[in-house]
Amino acid sequence: QVHLVESGGGLVQAGGSLRLSCAASGRTFSSYAMGWFRQAPGKEREFVAAISWGGGGSYYADSVKGRFTISRDNAKNEVYLQMNSLKPEDTASYYCAASESTYGNTYDEYDYWGQGTQVTVSS
């Protein structure tokens, strides 16, 4: 089992940047593919980005492609989400998630979840 804790959220103006971090503890971090999801009030949780076990593969939702970058540091047991050119529609709670099997883009492919960190983008 792995325990995930997100940090780095906050309030930022449109066009600004934030870097989210997710610290993992428990089983070997490198054995998990990692993903970021987000959920805005009244909306379903949606996929943002995912990264493979070693970090060599990644992909993104179309809505964030070119603006967000996912990365990981297996030595530090952390995964990151660099968010640039933020828009008001990026406002949401952001969750990191760990998968034992695959780095997919659907909620049910992930086995463990953090508690989330709030990102608010003002216009």
pLDDT of 76 above 80: yes
In this prediction, residues 73-91 reach a mean pLDDT of 97
CA Rg, the chain, in Å? 13
27 confidence band (pLDDT: 50, 70, 90)? confident
DSSP E strands: which ranges in 14-116? 18-26, 33-39, 46-51, 58-60, 68-73, 78-83, 92-99, 112-113
Place of tokens 């463990």: 112
**pLDDT at position 122, please?**
97
**pLDDT at position 58, please?**
93
Is the separation of the CB atoms in 17 and 82 below 8 Å? yes
Is the separation of the CB atoms in 45 and 35 below 8 Å? no
State the chain's maximal CA–CA distance in angstroms: 41
E strand or H helix at 26: strand 18-26
pLDDT of 103 above 90: no
List the structure tokens of 65: 């492609």
- Quickly count: other Cβ atoms within 10 Å of residue 18's Cβ: 21
17 confidence band (pLDDT: 50, 70, 90)? very high
Place of tokens 């089992």: 1
Mean pLDDT of the chain: 95
pLDDT in tens, 30-74: 889 999 999 999 999 999 999 999 888 999 999 999 999 999 999
- Would strands 10-13 and 117-122 be described as parallel, antiparallel, or unpaired? parallel
pLDDT of 1 above 90: no
**pLDDT at position 120, please?**
98
In this prediction, residues 7-27 reach a mean pLDDT of 95
